[in-house]
Amino acid sequence: MHVLIAGFQHETNTFAPTKADWAAFEAGAGYPPYRRGPEVVDAYRGKGLPVGGFIDAAEARGWALSASVWAGANPSAHVTREAFERIAGEILDDLVRVQRTDRVDAVFLDLHGAAVAEHLDDPEGELLARVRAAVGGQVPIVASLDLHANVSARMLEEADALVAYRTYPHVDMADTGRLAATLLERRIARGRREPLAVRRLDFLLPLNVQSTMTAPADAVYDALRALDATHDTVLSFATGFPAADIADCGPVVWAYGDAAQAAVEALFARIDQPRAQWRLELKTPAEAVQAALDTAAAGAGPVVIADTQDNPGAGGDSNTTGLLHALLAAGAGARFPGEVALGLLADPEAAAAAHAAGEGAQIELRLGRAVPTWGGQFSDPPVSVRATVRRLSDGEVMLLGPMGMGGTVSLGPCACLEVQGVLVGVSTRKTQMLDRELFRFLGIEPERMRVLVVKSSVHFRADFAPIASAILVAKAPGPMAADPADLPWTRLPSTMALRP
């Protein structure tokens, strides 16, 4: 069997300040850089991405593969028209080219599912429709989706099968690619599409309660797996990305199989009631810092504070200063000198100044940015400080944690600055703090810290939870609303509740 594979990954926060242009996909940043053609197979074989899992499963089955594009960019505001049309156009061009010389028996797409383009509310649905038009109604199309996908009716209609991750942090991406291969195999064996059942939830879920390392999501996904085993189905629960102002934003449950309806109804009931299980409590920056300092005094391991509203994995630019202000106001560095760290703060000017001055130098800086959030508001102002340059780096970092999958990120010139006893990791380019190596490359040993502030919402838990004595979530002003009810929605259906 001959399968064409391709990938398009973007999670769009329509309230964020920065768009994803073609350069963002070329660079990849938090994702691997843009690739096209046979190098896609060679680069991702055995790797922890959905396309890697699918490649491994396909080759184990003896399927032949042709690769088109794999393109991903850091979460941000809308994908530009030019970027989407270029990516989609290249996928369609490759599909047509392959069809001229060989048959295409199936198509696999490694998608996110929560993209929004400047000109399209549902670019994944549009891409699937264009691929469907090119291959016809009889060629199976399967796709993997992120757990945070905002799944549209068009996506479900155009694809023969869709399957979403089941973990957050997403440590099952390759497994999801393998499950997509299983769904394709089931579709071929049947000779037609499997029965599909779908239920859409009518309330938004904050990102921080979606973590499958904590209740209630851990139990919900345990129930999903048990229902699959009972009903011989393939269930998915996409929790949604609650920062995309489109009609399809929100959680969706779906399943494939002869007993799909029964499985969906059972899982839907487990998710829907009681809704109070999904409610979220957040601390102010001052509350989080004070609680962290009090807990850290016991010395049982670092207390981790998630700066969730500046998460560059959800549309933030990793440059707000609310938590840094709070650390300095509380005298955190004086209480635990050199044992309090924050990272990574994306500030190219500060990084350049540190490199110009050299290690050991003291420099005057304005760290961070005041960025627009929503409703005409801004985040905290920059912090004016005298800082000591403790460590410099070129920003090439090998990630070793569960979310890093052995990949490398290129952050440009970076520095560790000491500000009133607080260590601040400064980078030229942004990336989510999801791996301890993103502290360690700047000489900050996470295990030896009393307090760690991470620019992340949930992904950090995969690598930091094993060393943390406590984890706190702080609501400092930033572009990614921890509470969806804070956002000025205009396009959600009137039936969609902003809180559980």
Query: Tokens 């990630």 belong to which residue?
Result: 399
Enumerate domains of the chain plus CATH numbers: 2-278 (3.40.50.2300), 285-483 (no CATH)
| Confidence (pTM) | 0.95
Which helix (H) or strand (E) segment holds residue 367: the answer is strand 362-367
CB proximity list for 288: less than 8 A, separation 6 or greater: 305, 323, 326, 472, 473, 474
Q: E strands along 399-475, which residues?
A: 408-410, 414-419, 422-427, 451-454, 470-474
Asked if residues 163 and 130 have their Cβ atoms less than 8 Å apart, the reply is: no
The burial class, CB within 10 Å (0-12 / 13-18 / 19+), for 260 is: buried
Q: What are phi and psi of 221, to 5 degrees?
A: -75, -25
H-helix segments, 39-122: 39-44, 50-60, 81-101
Asked whether the CA dihedral 49, 52, 54, 60 is positive or negative, the reply is negative
pLDDT in tens, the chain (500 residues): 999 999 999 999 999 989 999 999 998 877 888 999 999 999 999 999 999 999 999 999 999 999 999 999 999 999 999 999 999 999 999 999 999 999 999 999 999 999 999 999 999 999 999 999 999 999 999 999 999 999 999 999 999 999 999 999 999 999 999 999 999 999 999 999 999 999 999 999 999 999 999 999 999 999 999 999 999 999 999 999 999 999 999 999 999 999 999 999 999 999 999 999 999 889 999 999 999 999 999 989 999 999 999 999 999 999 999 999 999 999 999 999 999 999 999 999 999 999 999 999 999 999 999 999 987 899 999 999 999 999 999 999 999 999 876 678 899 999 999 999 999 999 999 999 999 999 999 999 999 999 999 999 999 999 999 999 999 999 999 999 999 999 999 999 999 999 99
